[in-house]
């Protein structure tokens, strides 16, 4: 079977880490080779960029700087890890991808979406995930979970209005896509995992028929 790129999206505290483990187990049970990636990050340079993006600075970080760093890290990851993995018959599970920039920098920071699309075309071209699972959590619940993990990073400190706008953008992206699903991540995580497996099984059956 042709390898695919599956992406998990969602606000902070949506539960992506545990869901990635569920998806990985699902694929490995079917004797498929799997790697996991995260954004920003996933390569030595991209991990260094992640540190720049996440940490608090003694200077104002402009929205444009944040945006360019995100796409720089993504370009490194896609070209040095994701595409080579797919070309060598390995499935890829991504913790975030381009939708996060559209939701966070486009929705949250209110950067012009046309500028994001230009950057996307410059760095990624038409490359996109085969299937996106969006874990939908309210900002209140998500940030409470994030605080439970420890001190909030610079992005997590962006404020409630930022995350409300980001969530609205995520909803719009799912509604416009034929290759995505929405999972209610406000539920108990056992139920979230059940719902993810149901959606994943349905999608997997569809691509098997297609081949």
Measure the CA–CA gap between 185 and 198, rounded to whole angstroms: 14
pLDDT at 170: 98
State pLDDT tens for residues 47-89.
999 999 999 999 999 999 999 999 999 999 999 999 999 999 9
> How does residue 209 score in pLDDT terms, banded at 50, 70 and 90?
confident
For the whole model, what pTM was predicted?
0.95
CA neighbor of 148 nearest in space, from 7, 15, 10:
15
Return the pLDDT at 191: 98
What number of H helices and E strands is found in the chain?
9, 5
Distance CA 75, CA 185 (A): 29
Q: pLDDT-derived band of residue 208, with 50, 70 and 90 as boundaries?
A: confident
Whether the link from the prior residue into 40 is cis, omega within 30° of 0, is yes
d(CA 69, CA 89): 29
Predicted local confidence at residue 210, as pLDDT: 66
Each residue of 105-132: b (16+ CB within 10 Å) or e? Answer: bbbbbebeeeebeebbeebbeebebbbb
| Tokens 């610079």, located at residue | 154
pLDDT tens across 14-55, in order? 999 999 999 999 999 999 999 999 999 999 999 999 999 999
5-210 is a CATH 3.40.50.2300 domain: no
Please name the residue ranges forming H helices in 14-112: 16-28, 44-54, 63-77, 83-87, 98-101
């Amino acid at each position: 079977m042709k390898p695919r790129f599956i992406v998990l999206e969602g606000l902070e505290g949506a539960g992506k880490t545990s869901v990635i483990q569920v998806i990985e187990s699902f694929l490995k049970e079917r004797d498929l080779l799997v790697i996991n990636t995260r954004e920003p990050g996933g390569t030595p340079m991209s991990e260094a960029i992640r540190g720049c993006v996440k940490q608090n600075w003694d200077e104002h970080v402009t929205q444009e700087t944040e945006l360019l760093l995100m796409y720089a890290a993504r370009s490194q990851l896609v070209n040095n890890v994701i595409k080579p993995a797919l070309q060598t018959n390995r499935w890829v599970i991504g913790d975030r991808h381009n939708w996060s920039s559209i939701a966070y920098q486009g929705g949250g920071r209110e950067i012009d979406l046309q500028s994001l699309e230009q950057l996307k075309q410059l760095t990624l071209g038409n490359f996109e995930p085969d299937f996106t699972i969006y874990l939908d959590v309210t900002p209140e619940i998500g940030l409470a979970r994030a605080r439970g993990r420890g001190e909030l990073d610079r992005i997590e400190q962006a404020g409630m209005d930022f995350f409300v706008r980001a969530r609205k953008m995520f909803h719009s992206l799912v509604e416009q896509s034929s290759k995505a699903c929405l999972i209610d991540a406000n539920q108990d995580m056992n139920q979230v995992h059940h719902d993810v497996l149901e959606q994943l099984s349905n999608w997997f059956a569809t691509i098997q028929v297609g081949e």
